[in-house]
């Protein structure tokens, strides 16, 4: 009976020693192992062996990206306005041994650094700049924290400002200013729309007037061209008629008086036509000259007859 009890005790001790000796490290975790109170090694994911009562697991460190939600902090801006800033920090441990031995509490250290850095950055900015420069604040805060926490085996991946809350009176003033700015923009847009509409209408009227003037000009040009063409056709017809008369007379071999009479008749017909210009052949002008000479001779003969009549005959 005693042997059985001793066997059970020995088995229990062996199981206990195995439990203390064999450790299974999970993925994305490491064990900080100390031997006799001094740092011994960093056990990575998988199976690891330690010596019971000599080796000790100091800490289990997660290698995942972690978040630190910093409590909202009141910060005074350059223009003496107190605002509340809510920030979150994303970080990752890259040296587990430093994260355990270089600082008492890594999260507290990051939090205090973030608070002091935010107050330093925002304290040099105006209120309006804090709302329009969030990305710049995030970048400067990340760079400052990354430099300070590198000695702790930590890397700052990202810093985000979740919210910036001004005092109630400042918020009301900002809302009124934004409403006034919106109304101003609406009035400007409405005025621009009316201006653009007026310009478009004026340009349309101008284009219509230009097209109408061009159409009227084209119509006048076409009308004038038609009238000129008609005049040319009438003149050509009359000229052809005169030539036909002239050719007929030449074939008949008329005397000079008959030629002159026929030329006068042809000129009379031409003068009665619709054409504004009359083309007189050279032969017709000769005939007119002959007629003028005959008229002068007849007038001189008439005067001579009157002069040679005796006075007595006039008395009778």
Domain boundary pick from 136, 166, 196 = 166
- Reply yes or no on whether the pLDDT at 93 is more than 90: yes
Q: What is the pLDDT of residue 94?
A: 92
Structural domain total, the chain? 3
Higher confidence at residue 133 or residue 287?
133
**Would residue 260 count as lying in a domain?**
yes
> Domain range holding 33?
12-62
Mean pLDDT value of segment 128-155: 89
**Would residue 300 count as lying in a domain?**
yes
**Would residue 179 count as lying in a domain?**
no
Domain boundary pick from 111, 146, 166 = 166
Q: What is the pLDDT of residue 309?
A: 45
Q: What is the pLDDT of residue 308?
A: 45
The span from the CA of 33 to the CA of 61, in Å, is 11
The span from the CA of 180 to the CA of 79, in Å, is 23
> Is the same domain home to 81 and 144?
yes
> Is the same domain home to 130 and 95?
yes
> Is the same domain home to 269 and 245?
yes
Q: Tens digits of per-residue pLDDT, 247-298?
A: 766 666 656 666 566 666 655 555 555 544 444 544 445 544 554 454 454 4
Burial class (CB in 10 A: 0-12, 13-18, 19+), 53: exposed
């Amino acid at each position: 009976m005693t042997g059985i009890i001793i066997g059970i005790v020995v088995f229990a001790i062996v199981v206990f020693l195995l439990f203390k000796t064999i450790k299974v490290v999970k993925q994305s975790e490491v064990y900080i192992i100390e031997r006799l109170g001094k740092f011994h090694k960093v056990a990575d994911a998988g199976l690891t062996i330690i010596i019971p009562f000599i080796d000790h697991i100091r800490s289990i460190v997660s290698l995942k990206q972690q978040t630190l939600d910093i409590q909202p902090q009141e910060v005074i801006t350059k223009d003496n306005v107190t605002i509340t800033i809510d920030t979150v920090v994303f970080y990752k441990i890259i040296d587990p041994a430093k994260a355990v031995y270089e600082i008492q509490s890594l999260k507290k250290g990051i939090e205090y650094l973030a608070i002091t850095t935010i107050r330093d950055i925002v304290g040099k900015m105006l209120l309006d700049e804090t709302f329009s420069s969030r990305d710049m604040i995030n970048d400067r805060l990340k760079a400052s924290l990354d430099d300070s926490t590198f000695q702790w085996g930590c890397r700052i991946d990202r810093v985000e400002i979740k919210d910036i809350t001004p005092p109630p009176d400042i918020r009301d003033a900002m809302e009124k200013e934004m409403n006034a700015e919106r109304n101003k923009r609406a009035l400007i847009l409405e005025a621009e729309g009316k201006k653009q509409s007026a310009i478009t209408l004026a340009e349309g009227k101008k284009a219509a007037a230009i097209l109408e003037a061009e159409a009227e000009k084209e119509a006048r040009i076409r009308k004038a061209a038609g009238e000129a063409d008609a005049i040319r056709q009438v003149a050509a017809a009359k000229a052809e008629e005169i030539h036909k008369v002239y050719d007929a007379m030449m074939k008949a071999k008329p005397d000079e008086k008959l030629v002159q009479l026929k030329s006068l008749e042809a000129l009379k017909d031409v003068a009665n036509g619709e054409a504004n210009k009359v083309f007189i052949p050279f032969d017709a002008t000769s005939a007119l000259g002959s007629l003028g000479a005959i008229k002068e001779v007849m007038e001189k003969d008439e005067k001579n007859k009157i002069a040679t009549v005796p006075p007595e005959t006039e008395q009778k």
